[in-house]
Amino acid sequence: MLAFFKQFSEKRSSWLLLALSSLALELTALYFQYGMGLQPCVLCVYERLAMIGLFFAGIIGLLAPHSPIIRLIALALGLFSGIKGLMISIRHLDLQMNPAPWKQCEFLPNFPETLPFHQWFPSIFNPTGTCDNSQWSLFGITMVQWLVAIFAVYVIVLVVILIAQVKKTRRQRRLFN
């Protein structure tokens, strides 16, 4: 099984799948904001940034999938973004499922001063909603619950691919060489 995932990571199509799926989710978030009028909160903005990190991981892996160094860089960025997105979405889910006056999210994003994404790209990273408000659901599952599942899948797949990179695969013996 690990050999399959290693071979899969050496193909451009696998990294293209990562880039396109994360781009599709990012465009869906923008449709929710501008097409449906849903207001993103600060944690939504952070989740968007994590999704963009997954997109860039896919682009980096797409550049040279046969290079182990490039694959490891793409996997590191993808795992960092996926784990960060999972942690943020779990916190976001906690705020929605267990609201309390002492559990609030901030009003402005806490980006580093050197990377003020909310000032550079206000149409994507400027929050206008509140974190404890669930505005959309599909099949009874809220947007944040979907994000927890999506980030979890990304993390699981990327961890398996990372293990496949470092695990030695056994050479199969053939009866006749």
Q: Which pLDDT score, from 0 to 100, does residue 174 have?
A: 58
* 158 belongs to a structural domain: yes
Question: What is the CB neighbour count within 10 angstroms for residue 112?
Answer: 7
DSSP state of 171: P
| Strands 137-138 and 141-142, bridge-based pairing | antiparallel
Determine, yes or no, domain membership for 88.
yes
pTM above 0.85, yes or no: no
Dihedral sign for Cα atoms in the order 150, 152, 158, 164: negative
Question: Which residues form the catalytic set?
Answer: 41, 44, 48, 105, 131
> In this structure, is residue 142 part of a structural domain?
yes
Measured distance CA(71)–CA(132) in Å, rounded: 38
Q: How confident is the model at residue 21 (pLDDT cuts 50, 70, 90)?
A: very high
Residue 24's domain spans which residues?
A: 20-28+36-101+122-168
What's 127's domain CATH number? 1.20.1550.10
Q: Which residue shows structure tokens 């207001």?
A: 39
